[in-house]
Structure 1
């Protein structure tokens, strides 16, 4: 990247085609530009998606439980069985 070494010599030494080097270099620089521009999005793996869906389900269940508990507590405090909104 700093130009300290000839690209063709580097590729020959590492056993890769120069076209592969230039492709990687271009991808690296483009990713850097996107990152500097604030684009931090990336594709999630299927495992990450499954974990997030599982977590979302658990959180929804917790909210439902807490909502029900809150309503029951309100009813017990009111004594008349009516919800106060």
Structure 2
């Protein structure tokens, strides 16, 4: 997976941001579910939501800047914040 900058949101912040979704663009936040993420130095992350911070610079996502622009951003590895997908 990738190391990238993520916006960190709680449930309320995610709900407010996803209210801005429309047919042209959606937030697509993903919930942090790997217990290892709590060791990254950003507090308890399990149960929080993240979206790539690059969307704050994307013209199609400018309506999210007032809602998400002031939230914490951390550079994290996807393999550390998301649990491995178990194969069937």
TM range, smaller chain: under 0.3
Q: TM-score by structure 2 length?
A: 0.20
More helix by share: 1
Higher relative contact order (CA 8 A, sep 6+): 2
Q: TM-score by structure 1 length?
A: 0.20
